[in-house]
Amino acid sequence: MVINYNASQPLLRWLLFLNAICLAVPSFAAGETATVQEILDGNQLYIDGNQARLKQAAQVPQVISTGDSRGQLGFESGAVARINRQSLLKLGSSCFLLNKGQVLVSGRQDGCTRSARMSVRGTNYLLQVDENGNADLAVLEGTVQVEATESKTAPVTVQAGQRLRLSPAGIVLGLVKLALGDYQSILDGPLFSGYSLPLPAYANLESYLRSNMPGLNLPITPSLPIPTTPSVPGLSLPRFF
């Protein structure tokens, strides 16, 4: 049996309306929202030039910048980014764009520069861009695939313990191994020290470092609070001796 619908029927009109709404709403990949989780060294962390506050969410395509402050951002993917002083980061639908400064990423969150994209599979990496557009990627644990967006060069896979330098045009300038001293400098630096909230993928980093970089002085990292059992008035639990 064939049922013929026409546009005057209420059900069909409602379905057409829902379809139009779905087509009008753009789809975003994880990372369209970054929530301010922590601000250190004053209050010079900004969203679109306005002073940010804790738990404030920045949306695509807003810009997060810092003066003399540092901050921690939480993405929808569960990843965390710690942004250093004098940095400028723009949110995108599939990656954030670091225009200048330094950011530490822990978890599954892709990053971009003006000429390259960093695709991750769950990792800890440090990305830095200078005033001239030169980029420096240090993969502390895991792997990151780097693909130039302005040239047809083949993607480069950067392994744990490697540092990649890129020109403003996305051309590879060097790929070197991170020494123990490089790791120690990073772990003692401003993106690991002073924070009270943990990094979601720090356990993976710690395991890698203990296996591959013996002799490092690992930072004392904050841990997630242990949930407490709420007390019920009038109810006492038995004591054991």
pLDDT tens for 102-148 read: 999 999 999 999 999 999 988 999 999 999 999 999 999 999 999 99
Least confidently predicted of 144-148, 150-154, 182-186, 220-224: 220-224
Tokens standing for residue 81: 């980014």
Q: How far is CA 166 from the centre of its chain?
A: 20
User: At 17, is the pLDDT very low, low, confident or very high (cuts 50, 70, 90)?
Assistant: very low
Burial profile 193-227: b = 16 or more Cβ within 10 angstroms, e = fewer? eebeebbbbbebbbebbeeebeeeeeeeeeeeeee
DSSP string computed for 118-183: EEESSEEEEEEE-TTS-EEEEEEESEEEEEESSS-PPPEEEETTEEEEE-TTS-EEEEEEPPHHHH
Question: Domain 33-212 carries which CATH code?
Answer: 2.60.120.1440
pLDDT tens for 45-70 read: 999 999 999 999 999 999 999 999 99
Report if pTM > 0.85: no
Q: How far is CA 217 from the centre of its chain?
A: 25
Interatomic CA distance for residues 177 and 46, integer angstroms: 35
Residue bearing the bigger pLDDT, 208 or 17: 208
Tokens standing for residue 168: 């403003």
Interatomic CA distance for residues 139 and 132, integer angstroms: 22
Angle at the Cα of 60 (from 45 to 31), degrees rounded to 5?
Answer: 90
Interatomic CA distance for residues 162 and 139, integer angstroms: 6
Domain chopping of the chain, boundaries: 33-212
User: At 224, is the pLDDT very low, low, confident or very high (cuts 50, 70, 90)?
Assistant: low
pLDDT tens for 184-221 read: 999 999 999 999 999 999 999 999 999 999 999 998 87
pLDDT tens for 23-43 read: 333 333 344 799 999 999 999
DSSP letter, residue 239: P
- Could you tell me whether strands 70-75 and 50-51 are parallel, antiparallel, or unpaired per DSSP bridges? unpaired
Burial of residue 118 (number of CB atoms within 10 Å: 0-12, 13-18, 19+): buried
